[in-house]
Amino acid sequence: MPIVKTGTIADFQQDMYGLREPTNLKNRQRQKNFLNEEEELEESDKNKNSKMLMANLGMMINYAKGGMPPRSSKYYRSTKSGAGMTQAGVAAYRRMNPGSKLSTAVTEDNPGPKRSARRKSYCARSAGQMKMHNVNCSKTPEKRICAARRRWKC
């Protein structure tokens, strides 16, 4: 049957014989969902572009994308000297991971309120690590976690 462009009888026959796509509620919802997905993709493309820009800036300066600085005495303290990262290590990490808020250990006797809260948080977190790994610092004081906790004055 040839498709007729206009007319009520022609429309009825096209619908009856299945010559036209049905315009029901499900098709309308699919179209709306498709449009919403396109908008979400545009937003995620913006985020990807900004992340790629940051990564490219890091590569221009010859830093690896993300990750940690190499294990050397320049970036990490020995276990005897208290374990953890040095000032240079923290700076290297922050260059490799733009937007990072990593800072050095809180080692002073009377820190300010924010730094004392940071110390309290680290001490609680490292105590959980010790408990999880069954480390007893009175028996094995040479462990890195024990040295770091001494340095942080936990």
Tens digits of residue pLDDT in 91-150: 999 999 999 999 999 999 999 999 999 999 999 999 999 999 999 999 999 999 999 999
**The pLDDT of residue 19 is above 90:** no
User: What CA–CA distance (Å, rounded) separates 24 from 21?
Assistant: 9
Task: Give the residue-averaged pLDDT of 28-49.
Answer: 63
Most confident of 31-35, 64-68, 99-103: 99-103
What's the Cα-to-Cα distance from 101 to each of 5, 36, 89, 107, 154, rounded to whole Å?
66, 35, 13, 18, 22
DSSP H/E element including 66: none
**Cβ atoms < 10 Å from Cβ of 146:** 21
Task: Give the residue-averaged pLDDT of 67-83.
Answer: 89
Q: Is the entire prediction scored with pTM above 0.85?
A: no
